[in-house]
C-alpha cells in the first residue's frame, strides 16, 4: 500500500545537496520498517576541503564529517527531501591534487519527505497532519458497517444476506488553536472475478486529521502524532504503530517555485513499533476503553489527553516505553516503572510534607550542632523538601477509586515495601535474593498503578476500569500477580 510504513518502498532517482545543484548523484532510495530511510549512491558527497598551511606551497585535506542537514532528490516524478543525513558507508579513491573522490556511498536519513523540497528542516510550513494508526478504527466505534442476514424458512442457511454501509460524520474537537478531527473513509463495494471464485466486499478506515492556523514544522507535527499514537496505545492496551503520515504544506510553501510541493507530503521514518494493517485488530471488549464505552466521549477525551500528556510527559514517556517494547533487562524495567511512578507523583504538584520555611529551619538547626566537616555531607543527605518514595507510592495506590485499587492492590503496603526494597537493591547495587518472579510482579504492578492513575485523570468510568481487570489484558495480569505476591491481610 502506497505510503504505508508497514511496507518496504524503493525509488530510483537523482540526488544532490541544496547548495550544490550541479553535483547530481544517481542512486536508490529505500524505506524499510526495521532500518528506516537509506540512500545508496553511485558516487557520493564529500564535505572535506583543502586547507592552507603556514607553507604557501602546501595544503592539507580536512577530515570529512559526512553529515548533511538536508539532501534533495527527485524520484517517481516527485521532489524528495531527506532530513538529518549521515553517511554510514563510503568508498573513495585518491585523485591526486583533486583529493579523494567518493565512488559509492550509503546514507542514513532520519526522515524522508516525499512531495516537497524543504530548505530548512525546522521551517514551520505545514498546516495539517493526517494519521492512520493501528487499532484506531476499532477504537473509533461506529455502527456504520452492518451485516444483514435474512433467515430462510428451512433454517439451513440464510435466504439472503448483505453488507450495508451508512457513512458516519467526522468527530471534531477544537483545543486552543488545534482542530482534531476523527474522520472515516470507505471503499465502495467492489468485486473481483477470480478463476475459481468471485470476491466482493468493502471496508472502513478511521484516521486523525489535525489542523492548525499557525503552521508547524515537521518535528512539531511528528511530536503531535506521537501524542495521538500514545492515546490509542493506552486505550487499546497494546502497542499501536503509526501506519501512515501525511503533511499538508501551506499555500505559501506551495507558491514557492523551488519547493515543488504536492498537495500532500508523505513522511517516511523509522518508528519504535512496526505496524501491520492486515493483522487482526484488538477487540473493543479487550481494550481498556473505546469510544463505544458509555461515559467516554471523543469531545472530552481528546482535550483531556492532550492536557494530561503534557502535564505527565516524563511519566508517560517512561511507562509507554515499556508498553511499546518489552525487550531488555528486568532490572531496567523495574527502575523505569518505579521512576515513572515518582515522576507522575511529582507532576501532581502537591505541597511538600512540611513548609519550606520549617524545612530550612530544621536543616539550619541540624547543621549548627554537627562538626563543620560534616555539614556538606548532611546537606546532601537531607536533599530537598520533597516526598519520600514511600509517600509517593502510597499516595498513588490510594488516589483512584477505592474499589478499583482494591481489585488491583489487595495489599498495597506489601507492594510498596517490596517495590522500595527492590528498587534500592537494583539502583544501589546491593546484594540480596534475586526473586525474579517477585521482581516481575513489582514491575508489572508499578506499570499498572501509573496506568490506572492516568485513567483516573482521564475520568474513565470506574466500572470500566474494574472490568478491564477481569479480561486478558495488562491490568488483569497485574491484578493476578498482585494477589499472588501480596494477598490481602
Which positions ≥6 away from 223 have C-beta within 8 Å?
A: none
Q: If we measure between CA atoms, which residue out of 339, 462, 337 comes closest to residue 405?
A: 462
Residues 435 and 486: their CA atoms lie apart, in Å, by 14
> What is the rounded CA–CA span in Å between residue 303 and residue 315?
19
Residues near 473 by beta carbon (within 8 Å), at least 6 away in sequence: 237, 286, 287, 288
Q: How far is CA 277 from the centre of its chain?
A: 17
Q: Which residues contact 440 (CB under 8 A, 6 or more apart)?
A: 330, 481
Global pTM reads 0.87
Q: What distance in Å separates the CA atoms of residue 216 and residue 219, rounded to the nearest whole number?
A: 8
H-run or E-run covering 94: strand 78-94
Question: Which single residue is written with the C-alpha cell 532490572?
Answer: 331
Per-residue pLDDT of the chain (489 residues; tens, 9 = 90+): 577 999 999 999 999 999 889 999 999 999 999 999 999 998 888 755 445 556 665 554 444 558 899 999 999 899 999 999 999 887 766 554 555 677 789 999 999 999 999 999 999 999 999 999 999 999 998 888 777 777 777 767 776 777 777 888 899 999 999 999 999 988 877 878 888 888 878 888 899 999 999 999 999 999 999 999 999 999 999 999 999 999 999 999 999 989 999 999 999 999 889 988 888 889 988 999 999 999 999 999 999 999 999 999 999 999 999 999 888 889 999 999 999 999 999 999 888 877 777 767 777 777 777 777 776 776 666 667 678 899 999 999 999 999 999 999 999 999 999 999 999 888 777 655 568 899 999 999 999 999 999 999 999 999 999 999 988 899 999 999 999 999 987
Q: What is the pLDDT of residue 180?
A: 97
Neighbour-count burial of 186, counting CB atoms closer than 10 A to its CB (0-12 exposed, 13-18 middle, 19+ buried):
middle
Break the chain into its structural domains and give their ranges: 9-49+64-114, 126-308, 313-350+387-485
Check residue 397 and give its pLDDT. 95
Nearest Cα to Cα of residue 430 among 331, 327, 330: 331
CB atoms within 10 A of CB 389: 18
Amino acid at each position: 500500500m502506497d505510503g504505508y510504513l508497514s511496507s518496504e518502498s524503493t525509488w530510483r532517482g537523482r540526488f544532490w545537496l541544496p547548495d550544490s545543484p550541479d553535483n547530481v548523484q544517481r542512486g536508490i532510495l529505500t524505506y524499510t520498517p526495521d532500518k528506516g530511510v537509506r540512500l545508496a549512491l553511485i558516487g557520493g558527497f564529500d564535505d572535506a576541503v583543502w586547507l592552507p598551511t603556514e607553507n604557501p606551497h602546501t595544503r592539507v585535506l580536512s577530515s570529512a564529517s559526512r553529515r548533511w542537514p538536508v539532501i534533495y532528490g527527485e524520484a517517481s516524478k516527485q521532489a524528495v527531501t531527506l532530513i538529518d543525513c549521515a553517511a554510514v558507508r563510503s568508498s573513495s579513491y585518491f585523485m591526486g591534487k583533486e583529493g579523494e573522490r567518493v565512488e559509492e556511498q550509503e546514507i542514513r536519513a532520519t526522515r524522508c519527505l516525499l512531495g516537497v523540497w524543504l530548505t530548512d528542516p525546522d521551517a514551520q510550513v505545514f498546516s495539517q497532519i493526517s494519521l492512520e494508526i493501528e487499532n484506531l478504527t476499532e477504537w473509533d466505534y461506529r455502527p456504520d458497517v452492518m451485516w444483514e442476514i435474512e433467515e430462510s424458512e428451512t433454517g439451513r442457511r440464510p435466504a439472503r444476506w448483505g453488507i450495508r454501509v451508512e457513512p458516519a460524520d467526522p468527530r471534531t474537537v477544537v483545543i486552543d488553536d488545534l482542530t482534531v478531527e476523527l474522520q472515516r473513509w470507505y471503499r465502495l463495494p467492489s468485486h473481483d472475478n477470480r478463476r475459481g471464485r468471485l470476491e466482493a466486499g468493502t471496508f472502513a478506515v478511521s484516521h486523525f486529521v489535525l489542523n492548525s492556523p499557525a503552521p508547524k514544522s515537521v518535528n512539531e507535527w511528528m511530536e503531535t502524532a506521537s501524542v495521538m499514537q500514545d492515546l490509542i496505545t493506552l486505550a487499546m492496551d497494546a502497542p499501536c504503530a503509526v501506519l501512515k503520515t501525511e503533511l499538508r504544506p501551506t499555500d505559501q510553501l506551495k507558491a514557492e517555485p523551488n519547493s515543488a510541493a504536492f498537495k500532500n507530503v508523505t513522511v517516511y521514518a523509522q518508528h519504535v513499533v512496526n505496524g501491520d494493517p492486515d493483522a487482526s485488530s484488538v477487540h473493543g471488549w479487550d481494550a481498556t476503553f473505546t469510544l463505544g464505552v458509555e461515559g467516554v466521549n471523543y469531545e472530552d477525551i481528546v482535550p483531556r489527553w492532550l492536557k494530561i500528556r503534557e502535564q505527565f510527559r516524563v511519566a508517560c514517556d517512561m511507562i509507554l516505553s515499556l508498553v511499546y517494547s518489552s525487550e531488555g533487562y528486568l532490572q531496567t524495567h523495574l527502575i523505569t516503572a518505579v521512576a515513572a511512578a515518582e515522576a507522575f507523583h511529582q507532576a501532581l504538584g502537591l505541597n511538600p510534607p512540611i513548609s519550606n520555611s520549617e524545612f530550612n529551619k530544621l536543616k539550619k538547626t541540624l547543621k549548627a550542632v554537627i562538626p563543620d566537616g560534616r555539614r556538606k555531607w548532611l546537606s546532601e543527605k537531607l536533599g530537598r523538601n520533597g516526598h519520600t518514595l514511600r509517600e509517593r507510592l502510597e499516595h498513588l495506590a490510594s488516589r483512584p477509586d477505592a474499589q478499583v485499587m482494591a481489585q488491583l492492590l489487595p495489599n498495597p503496603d506489601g507492594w510498596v515495601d517490596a517495590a522500595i526494597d527492590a528498587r534500592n537493591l537494583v539502583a544501589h547495587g546491593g546484594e540480596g535474593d534475586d526473586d525474579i518472579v517477585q521482581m516481575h510482579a513489582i514491575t508489572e504492578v508499578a506499570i499498572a498503578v501509573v496506568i490506572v492513575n492516568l485513567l483516573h485523570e482521564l475520568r474513565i468510568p470506574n466500572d470500566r476500569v474494574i472490568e478491564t481487570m477481569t479480561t486478558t489484558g495488562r491490568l488483569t495480569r497485574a491484578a493476578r500477580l498482585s494477589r499472588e505476591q501480596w494477598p490481602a491481610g
